[in-house]
Homo-oligomer: A and B are copies of this chain.
Amino acid sequence: MGNPTAAMLVIGDEILSGRTRDANMHFLAGELVKHGIRLSEVRIVPDIPERIVEALNALRAAYDTVFTSGGIGPTHDDITADAVAAAFGVGIDVREDARALMQEYCDRMGRELNESRLRMARIPEGAALIENPISAAPGFTIGNVHVMAGVPSIFQAMVAGVLPTLVGGDALLSQNLTVERAEGDIAGELRGLAAEFPDLSIGSYPFVRDGVYGTNIVIRGSDGARLDAAMGRLCATFPEAVA
């Protein structure tokens, strides 16, 4: 299990209040798997500075990389950049390169670079900018923390920019098998398989479809040959299954 680890911190009253269903976590999880990075924890906290600082400091100490989403817009409730600066104990101010990006965008869109928009050019000391190809206002990387927008299209573009800069690991592979038997009927066999392949993760997910009880079995690991071996054993155990 030598893959690099990552955590995600979602900053968002709108998620916790049930108004918005988060989409960024699921997207990031999928991208990290492809890159061989193990998403190991997610926390969602409200728009309260102390809560962001506390969670961020816990996560950046525990994992190789941390991604944050949300709270870097122009309004009074966008407090993530300040909270990140506080967590790292550094100052924060408008930075000239970030201001130039915002100015160029505002000129092009016929908008005013007013005081509110200028907030989005405030960057903690020592951070590197993350490009925002959609609406210019940049994210930033400081230490092992990547601070990104909450709007899904911008979040996704920023992830695409950051991922190639990270050290990945062996691809995290998975294979699926669907068995039309109730999970409780095959749990014994799965337990035996898990004991035989302790280097693999073997998950089972029950479902009911058209009145038929079934189980999706998912084998995960980074050694393709071991996955094939476990899958072969599984197919022999459940010859009626569908891969």
Q: Give A residues with C-beta under 8 Å from B.
A: 13-22, 25-26, 28-33, 38-47, 51, 73-77, 111-112, 114-117, 119-120, 151, 172, 174, 182-185, 187-188, 190-191, 194-195, 201-206, 218, 220
Contacts and interface: CB of A to CB of B under 8 A. Distances in A.
Contacts of A13: 201, 203, 220
18 contacts: A13-B201, A14-B203, A15-B42, A17-B29, A17-B33, A17-B39, A17-B220, A18-B32, A40-B46, A42-B43, A75-B204, A76-B187, A77-B201, A77-B204, A114-B187, A116-B185, A116-B188, A119-B187
B42 A190 contact: no
A196 B71 CA distance: 21
Given A26-B18, A29-B18, A172-B17, A75 B45 contact: no
A76 B14 contact: no
Contacts of A17: 29, 33, 39, 172, 174, 220
B43 A77 contact: no
Contacts of A202: 76-77
A74 B187 CA distance: 6
A28 B22 CA distance: 13
Contact of A74 (B26, B174, B184): B184
Nearest to A10: B42
How many chain copies does the complex carry?
2
A172 B25 CA distance: 26
A117 B76 contact: no
A3 B112 CA distance: 40
A172 B46 CA distance: 15
Nearest to A201: B13
**Those 6 A-B pairs whose CB atoms lie nearest each other, nearest first:** A116-B187, A18-B29, A18-B30, A42-B44, A117-B184, A76-B191
Contacts of A44: 25, 41-43
A151 B76 contact: no
A141 B145 CA distance: 37
Contacts of A151: 206
A16 B183 CA distance: 21
Given A13-B201, A43-B44, 16 more contacts: A14-B203, A15-B25, A16-B38, A16-B41, A16-B42, A17-B29, A17-B39, A19-B174, A21-B26, A22-B26, A75-B183, A76-B195, A77-B203, A114-B184, A116-B191, A119-B187
